[in-house]
Structure 1
Amino acid sequence: MARLLYSATMSLDGFIAGPGGDMSWLTAHLGPNPEVGELIGRIGALLVGRRTFGGDDPHRGTEKEGKAFGGGWEGPQFVLTHHAPDTVIPDVTFVGDLGTAVKAAKDAAGYKYVNVLGADVARQCMDAGVLDEILMIVAPVLLGAGVRMFDRKDRGSVDLEQLRVTEAPHVTNLWYRVRYS
């Protein structure tokens, strides 16, 4: 059965996007990462937040713009939103509630990962008890402000079990299993 994995690159001070959702900071930290390269083949579907789906792209202005993992992955995407566009987008399904989106993404992923993209969707998955793992790729930069990796005010702590720590050029990969009490 599919597992939900939240993966993102974050600054050392815990931001996955800069102020206003700016992703341009990430461009300098993209590059060969064997952990991500191996993960891409294990992803069966994406569960994406609306702001992430329509937001800034670190590949802006290149042939990789608008493509998951810079074009390294293709497949079904499920975008969690209350405001679906009128235009049909191939391989993208807009879903209005978390439970339906998670089920649809898991069904599409089969035995592979559902990769969660977007801090708010990841928080909703965590709060619903359906997020299984977290892969944070830590970049050596301090953004100072922006979109936090998790913003769970007044929701208590969540224990994580370290699965592995790996190094890649200019980043550190931290992989955890979420442990719900």
Structure 2
Amino acid sequence: MAKLLYSATASLDGYIAGPGGDMSWLTQHLAIDNPTADRVLANVGAILAGNRTFGGDDPNRGTDSEGAFGGRYHGPVVVLTHQPPAQPLAGVTFAGDLHSAVEQAKEAAGDKYVNVLGADVAKQCLRAGLLDEILIFFAPVLLGDGVRMFDDPGGDQVRLAPIPGETAHWYRVVA
């Protein structure tokens, strides 16, 4: 059965996007060879994204590398939104509630990962007890402002456990 994995690249001060959702800061850090990211990509069966992330800034917009995983992901995408577009998009399913979106993404992923993209969707999955793992890549930059990796004022503490044999920043959600 598919697991939900939230993976993101963050600045050292904990931002996954700059002010206004700007992702241009990330471009220079994506060119770095990353065997862990390659391994994750090979094991992603579907993407679950929030509407802001799906329609937001792409550090590779207008290039052959536009899209998830530098344009290398070509599979099903489920977008959690209350405002689906009037015209359907090939390979993209729109869902209006979290549980339906997760169910559809898991079904599409089969026995691979559902890769969660977007801080808000990751927070919703975590709050609902649906998130299984978290993988964070850190880029050597301080953004100072923007969209935080996790921002949940008043939220509960969540315990994480390192995944044996993986990077120092790949964790299993414990509670």
Question: What TM-score bracket applies, with the shorter chain setting the length?
Answer: over 0.9
> 1:39 maps to what in 2?
40
Query: Residues 38-65 of structure 1, C-alpha deviation per residue, up to 9 Å, x if partnerless?
Result: 1111000000000000000010231222
| Structure 1 residues 88-167: aligned runs within 5 Å | 88-163=88-163, 164=165, 166=167
CA drift at 1:68:
1.9
> 1:175 maps to what in 2?
170
Q: In structure 2, give the amino acid aligned to 1:162.
A: P
Question: Normalising by the residue count of structure 1, what TM-score does the alignment of the two structures yield?
Answer: 0.93
Q: Could you list the runs of 5+ residues in structure 1 that have no partner in the other structure? A: 167-172
Question: Normalising by the residue count of structure 2, what TM-score does the alignment of the two structures yield?
Answer: 0.96
Q: In structure 2, give the amino acid aligned to 1:141.
A: V
Q: Is 1:7 aligned with 2:2?
A: no
> 1:61 maps to what in 2?
62
Equivalent pairs counted in the alignment come to 173
User: 2:30–2:70: 8 Å Cα contact kept in structure 1?
Assistant: no
CA distance in 2, matches of 1:73, 1:60: 15
Greater strand share, 1 or 2? 1
Task: Give the secondary-structure state (helix, strand or coil) at the position aligned to 1:103.
Answer: helix
CA drift at 1:143:
0.3
Note the aligned Cα RMSD (angstroms): 1.1
Spell out structure 1 runs of 4+ moving beyond 3 A: none
CA distance in 1, matches of 2:159, 2:63: 39
